[in-house]
Amino acid sequence: MAPRLVQRLGVPAEVLVRGARLYDPAAGLDLIADLHVRGGVIAAIGGDLDAPDAEVVDADSLTVLPAFVDPHVHLRTPGQEESEDLATGTAAAAAGGYGAILAMPNTDPVLDSVPLLEALFERGAEECVVPTGFVPAISIGLTGRQLTEMYALAERGAAGFTDDGRPVESAGLLRRAFQYVGPLGLPLALHEEDMTLSRGGAMHEGVVSAELGIGGYPAIAESAMVARDLRIARYEDGRIHLQHLSTRGSLEELAWARSVGIRVSAEATPHHLLLTDEAVRSLDANLKMNPPLASEDDRLALVEALRCGLVDCVATDHAPHASDLKEQPFEQAPNGVTGLETAFAALYTGLVEPGVVSLAVIVTAMTVAPAVAFGLEPPRLAVGASANLALWDLAADWTVRSAGFRSRSANSAFLGRRLRGRCLLTIAGGRVAHRLAAVGVSA
């Protein structure tokens, strides 16, 4: 069954991007040319295009990338709109160059029933600036006791299932979930955490946690669960998507899974790819998330896994929290950081510019790979494709500041950092979803 994405109605884009570098590694495209979007569709790519009715964007020295796909976003709706809602969350996505996102079900109430899913589709069709899909819960109320009505939810357009925020503690329930979801062709997206190991931990267990005297969350809390769940997926021949991997041990399990042919996809977040538990010495609650920032050895393993394709997807795990929630001592503060508006620039600055990971790998992990993992149409810079693209100034420096976010929340792990790469214009689902005021548009 096919996932359903919703987006608010809007005027289809009529834009001529003139003279940009058009870069789409999946399509083998890397050239300087004009790109004409007509009626929300890429109508032409070539030199000196003429489009009298379109807005013309002079894009000398700018780069057009396919719009990104984020398989892991918390939109906090319904129930926690003081932190985010569908309009602000998708505006944040558009500002980060995203053209499609999938929302997690740990809302209040939990997205675990057909009426709630339909209510979100209805609301999304009025409020979502970029096409948005929803991933309902595996278990009712995220309690791990009883499976949701997976068939009925899939029929209505669920994009997969997850209990994210929590692991599926019962191996028996997870096995039954794979049995139900198998014929539906949808993945189970799993937050990997053995809570009997992580309980009481507020940061990665290691030298830094010992020095700070903060309860440790050991790396094996993740890798032990990854090992278990991969074996259940293998036994049931299920499609498994591993969320926000953060440790070397988990990556060793993933390598084994690929070697024996398990149908697995896996994501890494920009914060786990770029930061370590050393940063937690600041006791800044904006560096607290689950799983926690791990050791430099774990981070290097994660970067290498992304570089070689073992980890195929980048996801933000965008987890907004209203400022009063994060303004607590580190150990009491809630887990989670925002990420949609900084993801690409952080990775470009931290990994691409220094030559650690190629632009092709980053773009693929932010477009085709997550789309394929969740059965979505991959964004393409190709004539005839729906316009899902973003215009970037890869030379622009900017400083991450709380006042600059479209998200309702500002709990970014990258606050105060200088990043390179600014998204100037995003066309998502054929509509202009984001435009930086500075973009020169002439008629």
CA-based angle 319:379:34, to the nearest 5?
120
Other beta carbons within 10 angstroms of residue 30's beta carbon come to: 14
Tally of helices (H runs) and strands (E runs) in the chain: 14, 19
Where are the extended beta strands (E) located within 89-227? 98-103, 132-134, 161-162, 188-190, 203-204, 216-217
Residue closer to Zn ion (CB basis): 164 or 194? 164
Residue closer to Zn ion (CB basis): 193 or 393? 193
How near is the Cβ of 289 to Zn ion at its closest, in Å? 9
Task: Give the H or E element holding residue 420.
Answer: strand 418-428
How near is the Cβ of 179 to Zn ion at its closest, in Å? 23
Where along the sequence are the contacts to Zn ion (CB under 5 A)? 164, 191, 317
How near is the Cβ of 336 to Zn ion at its closest, in Å? 7
Give the residue nearest to Zn ion (CB): 191
DSSP character string of 386-398: B--EEEEEEEEEE
Residue closer to Zn ion (CB basis): 55 or 267? 267
Task: Give the H or E element holding residue 34.
Answer: strand 29-38
CA-wise closest residue to 130 among 98, 88, 104: 98
CA-wise closest residue to 341 among 264, 398, 283: 398
How near is the Cβ of 52 to Zn ion at its closest, in Å? 46
One-letter amino acid of 426: T
How near is the Cβ of 321 to Zn ion at its closest, in Å? 12
Three-state secondary structure call for residue 36: strand
Residue closer to Zn ion (CB basis): 194 or 317? 317
CA-wise closest residue to 317 among 195, 420, 411: 411
- Say how far apart CA 80 and CA 111 lie, in whole Å: 13
How near is the Cβ of 167 to Zn ion at its closest, in Å? 9
- Say how far apart CA 8 and CA 124 lie, in whole Å: 7
Residue closer to Zn ion (CB basis): 59 or 233? 233
Which residue blocks in 182-247 are alpha helix, DSSP H?
A: 195-198, 207-212, 220-235
How near is the Cβ of 318 to Zn ion at its closest, in Å? 8
Q: What are phi and psi for residue 204, nearest 5 degrees?
A: -55, 135
List 317, 324, 393, 397, catalytic entry:
317
Residue 258 C-alpha from the chain's centroid: 22
Residue closer to Zn ion (CB basis): 34 or 85? 85
User: Is 50 tagged catalytic?
Assistant: no
Residue closer to Zn ion (CB basis): 73 or 394? 73
Point out the residues that are catalytic: 317
